[in-house]
Structure 1
Amino acid sequence: MNTAFQGVGVAGARLIAVGTAHLLAPTPIPITTETITADRIEAELRRLDKALDSARCHLERVRRQIPADTAAPIDELISTHLLMLTDSALVDATRDLIRSQHINASWALQMQRDLLIEVFNEMEDPYLHARRDDVDHVVRQIQSFLTNETAQTVDSFAQIELSGKIVVAKDLTPAEIILLRQRGMDALVTEYGGPSSHTAILARSLDIPTVLGVYNATQYLIHGELLIVNADAGSVIATDDPLTIAVYRERHLALEAQREILRRLIREPSISRDGVPVVLLANLELSEDVRAAQENGASGVGLYRTEFLYLNHDHLPDEEEHLANYLAIIAGLDGLPLTIRTLDLGLDKHVKYIADTLPALTNPALGLRAIRLCLRHPELFVPQLRAILRASAAGPVRLMIPMISTLAEVETVLQMLHTARRSLRRDGLGFDPLMPIGAMIEVPAAALMAETLARRLDFLSIGTNDLIQYTLAIDRMDDSVSYLYEPLHPAILRLLRGIIEAAARSRTRVSMCGEMAGDVRYTRVLLGLGLRELSMQPGSLLAVKNVVRACDISYLKYTMETLFCDIDELPPQQLLDQLAAVDQPSYH
């Protein structure tokens, strides 16, 4: 019998694993709530400090165990948790609660954890929203040392043999994942986590087939039963059926063979069968993604998100902090171009100055976010503009503005850049005066006036994630309506064609950096529409290149134009099938 569970699939190159389930269901750490007398406050503060020191020593010990040949600098994730152990928003605030409310350390820590989680839950950006997991991981580590509940801490994992086994857990910290991988863990299933969580980042970097967000996995899956983890489909199958097992083992071997074939494409050009070059770029979330981009043959970075610079800070990052970060990435890219997207946040209460000046928003997705927020608060925006300009002196840099909806916004940003250039000249600081300036097309209004925007900018980049949800009026994170999120909806295809043709008339470079760009199901559609530059997460680059090299783009374009006559009535799968048929030799 087969029982299937659905979640969010995350993987590096390996997509499928077959093995026995190993359940990790740690006993919840008991949080005592106790009011203390004034003479006990200092002792409670010392107890908190001791737990912080123990957690710090533990993380340092884990970091020393990270293999030197790890595919990406994963120790940066451990470093993030080490920094959180000194972060004032967590540690100093907890100390203040102990002093002001006369409560024990465990209670104070849990109260502050709840406040921080509430802040992260209100964040619109999926990457920042996922950082709530880091707060939970760090707090859990501290609480375990405060309460001496160490039976299921990371240290105990060193005694587990996990070769060929699939770990099933509610959630795991980066430290736990690293040590479990060292013990032979073959795949991972968790109840929590999303595509932007640290669990997802580590799964990709450590090449662990993973399915996140499987509801009540630790209750429904049985220790020792056979599991099939399909990270490509985001599914977990519990089975005792020999035929099902044989089918997935065979598929696993086929994917491994395909993986080796794709690896051979790293140094091959991204050129179609009829000689049309297609530029494939990488989207970066964190600095550790630079190495993954290079290892998968990226021609540069088409989208670097800068929001994490504001994460877990009780102050605005200044110009020098921005610059140091950009220069490190430029150095890692070794001459490849870097596109830096300016801040794209909603109401971020970690930036306390801004949060205190803004009213509560009833609909943050349509409110004061991204470029709207930056133009309202120049003190937030100007240091970033100056830093990006200064970084352009060190390598090929492009600046990209998110969520443009009016020409006036573009004109204002261009004027601010002009002012920033003048101030840099006065300060004797270098920059590239010809640094390209572009905008993301992710609002239907911007898509419909793409030609006007293209005439004022050096490039456009289509952000399909928001463009699709705004056009179709659905929240892609809402399970009750997410089935309506259809990239091949006729309205979306018409908008995409309009943007691409508008850019062509204006002789303006156009690319796509949304999730659609990295999905091989849509590669032929995008090439047929006229796109010649795609930016995606590094793990998708080789698969997309493989499709590009198999395509005859002239026939794709002709077929796409023919199909557009009936696009409103053409089922998405039929569109994909007809475009895939173009690859067949019978067309020559």
Structure 2
Amino acid sequence: MPATDPASTKTARNILTGLRAIMASRGNAQKKLNKVVDTIAEAVSSEVCSIYLRRDGVLELFATRGLNAEAVHVTKLAMGEGLTGYIAKNVETLNLDEAASHPDFQYRPETGEEKFHSFAGVPIIRNQQAIGVLCAQHVEPRRYSEVEIEAFQTAAMVLSELISSADFVDDNIAGEAATLDNGANRLSGLQLVKGKASGHAVFHQPRVKIEHTVAEDTEAERHRVYSAFDKMRAQIDQMTSQAEFGVGGEHEEVLETYKMFAYDEGWSRRINEAIDSGLTAEAAIERVQQHTRMRMRQIDDPLLAERMHDLEDLANRLLRTVSGQMGTAAKMGLREDTILIARNLGPAELLEYDRRKLKGVVLEEGSLTAHVTIIARAMGIPILGQVKNIRQVVREDDHLLLNVDDNVVFVRPGPSVEEAFEAQLELSQKKRAAYSELRDKEAVTKDGVRITVNINAGLRDDLALLNLTGADGIGLFRTEFQFLVAATMPGRTAQTRFYRDVLDAAGDKPVIFRTVDIGGDKPLPYFQASQSKEDNPAMGWRAIRIGLERDALMKVQARALIEAAAGRKLNVMFPMVAEPWEFDEAKAVFETQREYLRGQKKMLPSQIRYGAMLEVPALAECLDLMADRLDFLSIGTNDLTQFLFAADRSNPRLAERFDWMSPAILRFIHRVSGDAERLGISLGVCGEMGGRPLDALALLGLGVRNLSITPASVGPIKAMVRSLDLGQARQEIQTILKEAPAEPRICLEQWANKHQVDLG
């Protein structure tokens, strides 16, 4: 990146000196703004210098040197109207040798600007929003030099502080600057965890608020930047050398490019030159970042656009480092109902937040199979993912209405949107209240069939929900959560203590522990699961495949579970079993540990029951070969669906393409249900399908009698079961299986409504 001309530094320093004197002077806001335009115009030898500020939703001419004085507080432009409106709306710099040549040019006769040809304007930015525009004009048609543009941008940064300072602005400006309203936005995304929430936007990585732009001690600011560069570069070096990235591949080139930017001397030199002009370290970084944005927008190159993201990320990282604001919003604490905004989140990061105040999450990225999605679902926190540019549209503390059920988030909603949302929220709360009344009632159909309704769990906080929901037990305890949220591999003692706590909390209710399902799309940062990147991690080296190859992991977990269940029944389930020998080897690991503990005179479980997850369709072909040693079987509908349809659930294009009510899924489950009944194998379902009333109705009609679902789904499923005549439902499902209608979901829904089945 080219070095800054020394003349630019001198010009900017002269402007800052003049503005600092104006800040310290006495007088009202209008007089100070008049002095500001005079100072800037003289510093860059501009014939016209004008300041527009936002008030009542429009840009109003507040001060000028060179235009008609009568136009002040008279000339007003809407956001996007004219060149000034274009700059404010797009938060972008313009530099034109002939203003009238721009498609957004508008002539305002009251200003007397007809004799001026050249035009330059820069946005006055506060919290990444334009609160005004600083403009310059010349009679002769010429483009302003880079030195002049940089001087305008530096002046605009200081003006932002002046305008927003309580000591500077009078009431009529202060109120406007503080209450900018860019209007409501309706943003769409991908449904990751259903639910609705209202709250204020909080950034997971909070933006650094630059409170002071003018430096008191230039050398001290320079030292702060040098120190921040050293820290940031050390972080980048550590990140790029981490073992889990593997060796070779496209990611290495990306990381090396990122590292190259971090060490770019041109970038650091420009920041130092901005400090020389009199800016603080934070303002200097932001100043160079603004200039980089302006230059990059002028280049129509997709590759450079990608590099722009790298530069933005590095500049933000450097800003957080130099300001000392490295912590996430969780570490700083939440003040009120919050909707968290982030590019992406890890499971441990989500768990750091106060669940009482965190009402929802909006991610710029995110996928259905990410561990944060699984944990958020367990916590009952709605998540909307794949919301592009959310961090550019939303400001800190904006009011948000999150409706993941409809795949939308409303930013700064109007009264009518808010009223409709509140009505929906109230209806949801009434339903929850009605469901809570079913807590102590059994899930029995109208024709007397008892259905077992368990919950899925994996966190310590989930245990309280067992009694709160009135569930029959825990049908799936995801033991990998303990591994996902830990900084290092949990030891045997820690695992034993945790599993014992789970069993103690469950009391007489059964708990099925699934052995760790890690690897593939659930990598552990401290566990190198593979030497190379997998093209299809969902079908890769994960779950029982890792457990059997790295058997030390399974041995430790087996011993911990057996010790924790001393004197009690232990239910163990192995994930992603594809063939009988995998189940047999996993069971042998547990039996070996049981014999070892028996030899150590340790108290053993009263019984160990062994089960398997049916996620890989191949297992369904071998059930008769395992019937004598398989105590129970649980269908994992999430993975089963993607394997049956060869459709990656983490791919947004495919996430909702295949329906659980398709004939292929219904017929497969019907066959498995019949085989399990014939072979005497207890059958359950522990995927999302069982937590949706209509889909659960189909499962019951297919012969499933045991459901394990999210805690939030227990009430709706109990209500559905208690309103259902199962005999009639089985007949309807048999008809759907036989006739295979084009829309089986619609057919079953119509039948359910006709028979007054409660679908929530």
TM-score, reference length from structure 1: 0.71
Distance 1:557 1:115, change over 3 A: farther
Distance 1:492 1:454, change over 3 A: farther
Distance 1:319 1:302, change over 3 A: same
Measure the CA separation in 1 of the matches of 2:376 and 2:702: 35
Most deviating of 503-512 and 384-393: 384-393
1:298-351 Cα deviation digits (max 9, x unpaired) = 211111112234447687544333322211211122232111111222268758
Matched residue, 1:3: 186
SS of the counterpart of 1:259? Answer: helix
1:146-179 Cα deviation digits (max 9, x unpaired) = 5334499759978x9767x867565786598539
> Are the counterparts in 1 of residues 635 and 687 from structure 2 also a CA contact under 8 Å?
yes
Matched residue, 1:72: none
Measure the CA separation in 1 of the matches of 2:331 and 2:631: 56
Would you say 1:105 and 2:208 are equivalent positions? no
Matched residue, 1:534: 707
Offset of residue 478 of structure 1:
0.9
Offset of residue 192 of structure 1:
5.1
Offset of residue 201 of structure 1:
5.2
Matched residue, 2:354: 178
Q: Following superposition of structure 1 onto structure 2, how do residues 205-354 of structure 1 map, counting pairs within 5 Å?
A: 211-221=384-394, 227-238=400-411, 244-311=417-484, 317-346=490-519, 350=524
SS of the counterpart of 1:211? Answer: strand
Letter in 2 for 1:577: E
Matched residue, 1:148: 323
Letter in 1 for 2:323: N
> Are the counterparts in 2 of residues 162 and 186 from structure 1 also a CA contact under 8 Å?
no
Most deviating of 541-550 and 305-314: 305-314
Distance 1:584 1:314, change over 3 A: closer
1:34-57 Cα deviation digits (max 9, x unpaired) = xxxxxxxxxx9xx99xxxxxxxxx
Matched residue, 2:755: 583
> Are the counterparts in 2 of residues 25 and 170 from structure 1 also a CA contact under 8 Å?
no
Distance 1:401 1:225, change over 3 A: closer
Matched residue, 1:131: none
Q: CA RMSD in A?
A: 4.2
Offset of residue 548 of structure 1:
1.2
Distance 1:150 1:383, change over 3 A: closer
Measure the CA separation in 2 of the matches of 1:396 and 1:327: 12
Measure the CA separation in 2 of the matches of 1:281 and 1:414: 24
Matched residue, 1:407: 580
Which of 603, 608, 612 is the equivalent residue of 1:435? Answer: 608
SS of the counterpart of 1:574? Answer: helix
> Are the counterparts in 1 of residues 443 and 721 from structure 2 also a CA contact under 8 Å?
yes
SS of the counterpart of 1:400? Answer: strand
SS of the counterpart of 2:752? Answer: helix
Measure the CA separation in 2 of the matches of 1:513 and 1:428: 36
Distance 1:117 1:539, change over 3 A: farther
> Are the counterparts in 2 of residues 454 and 460 from structure 1 also a CA contact under 8 Å?
no
Matched residue, 1:501: 674
Q: Following superposition of structure 1 onto structure 2, how do residues 409-558 of structure 1 map, counting pairs within 5 Å?
A: 409-432=582-605, 434-558=607-731
Distance 1:144 1:534, change over 3 A: farther
SS of the counterpart of 2:517? Answer: coil
1:111-133 Cα deviation digits (max 9, x unpaired) = 3345669659xxxxxxxxxxxxx
1:476-522 Cα deviation digits (max 9, x unpaired) = 10123334332122111111111111111112211011111112231
Identity of aligned residues (%): 28
Matched residue, 1:570: 742
Measure the CA separation in 2 of the matches of 1:25 and 1:105: 18
Measure the CA separation in 2 of the matches of 1:381 and 1:209: 33
Matched residue, 2:196: 16
The structure having more radius of gyration, on CA atoms, is 2
Measure the CA separation in 1 of the matches of 2:739 and 2:595: 53
> Are the counterparts in 2 of residues 8 and 194 from structure 1 also a CA contact under 8 Å?
no
Offset of residue 382 of structure 1:
1.9
Most deviating of 571-580 and 196-205: 196-205
> Are the counterparts in 2 of residues 270 and 277 from structure 1 also a CA contact under 8 Å?
yes
Distance 1:351 1:492, change over 3 A: same
Offset of residue 470 of structure 1:
0.6
Measure the CA separation in 1 of the matches of 2:457 and 2:555: 22
Would you say 1:559 and 2:739 are equivalent positions? no
Distance 1:387 1:186, change over 3 A: closer
> Are the counterparts in 2 of residues 280 and 534 from structure 1 also a CA contact under 8 Å?
yes
Distance 1:581 1:418, change over 3 A: same
Letter in 2 for 1:27: R
1:443-499 Cα deviation digits (max 9, x unpaired) = 111123334333431100001111110110010101233343321221111111111
Distance 1:462 1:349, change over 3 A: closer
> Are the counterparts in 1 of residues 243 and 528 from structure 2 also a CA contact under 8 Å?
no
Measure the CA separation in 2 of the matches of 1:272 and 1:565: 24
Measure the CA separation in 1 of the matches of 2:416 and 2:622: 55
> Are the counterparts in 2 of residues 228 and 236 from structure 1 also a CA contact under 8 Å?
yes
Offset of residue 231 of structure 1:
3.3
SS of the counterpart of 2:693? Answer: coil
Offset of residue 532 of structure 1:
0.9
Offset of residue 414 of structure 1:
3.3
SS of the counterpart of 1:449? Answer: helix
Which of 547, 550, 554 is the equivalent residue of 1:377? Answer: 550
> Are the counterparts in 2 of residues 282 and 541 from structure 1 also a CA contact under 8 Å?
yes
Most deviating of 512-521 and 233-242: 233-242
Offset of residue 394 of structure 1:
4.6
Measure the CA separation in 2 of the matches of 1:477 and 1:273: 39
> Are the counterparts in 2 of residues 461 and 513 from structure 1 also a CA contact under 8 Å?
yes
Letter in 1 for 2:207: T
Offset of residue 6 of structure 1:
2.1
> Are the counterparts in 1 of residues 205 and 329 from structure 2 also a CA contact under 8 Å?
no
Letter in 2 for 1:574: I
Measure the CA separation in 1 of the matches of 2:648 and 2:747: 25
For structure 1, list consecutive stretches of 5 or more residues without a partner in the other structure. Answer: 31-43, 49-102, 121-138
Measure the CA separation in 1 of the matches of 2:325 and 2:729: 60
> Are the counterparts in 2 of residues 9 and 232 from structure 1 also a CA contact under 8 Å?
no
Measure the CA separation in 1 of the matches of 2:200 and 2:533: 48
Measure the CA separation in 2 of the matches of 1:351 and 1:188: 23
Distance 1:374 1:390, change over 3 A: same
Measure the CA separation in 1 of the matches of 2:524 and 2:400: 41
> Are the counterparts in 2 of residues 194 and 212 from structure 1 also a CA contact under 8 Å?
yes
Letter in 2 for 1:105: K
Measure the CA separation in 1 of the matches of 2:455 and 2:422: 31
Distance 1:313 1:113, change over 3 A: farther
Offset of residue 385 of structure 1:
1.9
1:197-238 Cα deviation digits (max 9, x unpaired) = 669857975x76653442211323478987532133332135
User: Relative contact order (C-alpha < 8 Å, sep 6+): which is higher?
Assistant: 1
